[in-house]
Amino acid sequence: MIKGPINKQNVEKVKVLGGIYRKTLAYNNDVMLCFFILEKDSEVPLHEHKAHQIGYVLKGKIKFKTESREFIAEEGDSYVFDSNEKHGAELLEDTEVIEVFSPTREDYK
């Protein structure tokens, strides 16, 4: 369990996919905060997970896809994906996002 304070500069990034990097920040058993660095032209394939996911775009532009819709989120925008909602993304620019997962994702510890 990591409660903080945790500075993202002190956390080593983990490569998730080509051009997709994660820094897991503070978390407990119920909620997790992550910082993502996403490179232009990278893609996150359609996937799902138990955790609800709420995000905020710090910079850049990202096109999200679900089974029923597509939308673009850019600097200052927030978004949410429900538990087990299939979603993926296409990076339109170099992008940084903060995301919260509830419950905590064991695979991101």
| pTM score over 0.85 | yes
Q: Delimit the domains of the chain by residue range.
A: 8-108
List the structure tokens of 97.
């996002």
Q: In this predicted model, what pLDDT tens digit does every residue of 44-101 receive, in sequence order? A: 999 999 999 999 999 999 999 999 999 999 999 999 999 999 999 999 999 999 999 9
Burial call 7-43: b when 16+ CB within 10 Å, e when fewer: eeeeeeeeebeebbbbbbbebeeeebbbbbbbeeebb
| Cis, peptide link before residue 45, omega less than 30° from 0 | no
At residue 75, what is the residue type?
Answer: E
Helix (H, G, I), strand (E, B) or coil at 2: strand
Fold of 8-108: Jelly Rolls (2.60.120)
Cβ atoms within 10 Å, residue 103: 15
